[in-house]
Structure formats: structure tokens, C-alpha cells
Amino acid sequence: MARSRIAIKRIYEPVDKSDGYRILVDRLWPRGVSKASAHIDLWLKDIAPSTELRQWFNHDPAKWEEFRRRYQAELKEKTTLLATITEQAKTHPVTLLYSAKDEGQNQAVVLRDFLSKDGKKT
């Protein structure tokens, strides 16, 4: 089965036709973004890290590896939500949208990597 690409992008970046199916993966709606201008196809807030994990991490680079480990453990329990993304990705590009300032250390990075490994590795 050929799988279309799953990309990640800050929601503050301009919408592009190549984004394909746009899924917001933040638990909270991004500041300063109207629902009309977001051009999202789906807000999958329950795929985001738990409130407790998000608050614990607080985008602290020193906690990144532990955050990845804990979030991957949470993702293993979210098979239905993961399937929602992978089903879309079978037919067209999917872009996971996030609002974090750090483009390298955020939940969308972990989620994309988790999906690319089919959740088999941590």
C-alpha cells in the first residue's frame, strides 16, 4: 500500500494547496487564528498530549526526550484517532498543524514520527 506524505506545519504559515488535508493537532485553539483563516479540515484535539503532559513539558528543551517517550505511550492508546489520520493519508497528502514556536520539538513532530513508524518503535 502506497502511503501519501504526512507533513507538519505551523498553523501560522500560509495555507498552500500542497498541504492537502489539514488537521490541527493542538488541544487548545491557536492564539490569534480565526477559524475561517485556519482552513482546517479537521481539529483532532484528542490526539494532542494530555493536559498534564503538555503542562509538564512546557516546551522545555531539557524535557524533550522524556516528553517524546511519554507522548508516544499516550499515542499507543489512541488507535482510532491515529487511524483517522492514516486513512486520510492513503488517498492524499496530510498536513498536521501545530502552534508551538519550536519547529523541531513539538507534539506534531512526535506524532508524524510515530505514524511513520506505525507506532512500533519508541
DSSP one-letter string for 70-95:
HHHHHHTT-HHHHHHHHHHHHHS-EE
Instruction: Give the strand pairing for 6-10 and 42-43.
Output: unpaired
pLDDT digit of tens for each residue in the chain (122 aa)? Answer: 344 689 999 999 999 999 999 999 999 999 999 999 999 999 999 999 999 999 999 999 999 999 999 999 999 999 999 999 999 999 999 999 999 999 999 999 999 999 988 644 33
Q: How many CB atoms lie within 10 A of CB 56?
A: 14
Q: Long-range contacts for 63-66 (Cβ within 8 Å, ≥24 apart)?
A: 64/105
Determine the pLDDT at residue 34. Answer: 94
Determine the pLDDT at residue 80.
Answer: 96
Tell me which residue of 28, 80, 82, 66 sits closest to 50, measured CA to CA: 28
Q: Please tell me the pTM assigned to this model.
A: 0.90
Q: How far apart are CA 66 and CA 105, in angstroms?
A: 12
pLDDT at 57: 97
Helix axes 64-75, 107-116, angle to 10 degrees: 50
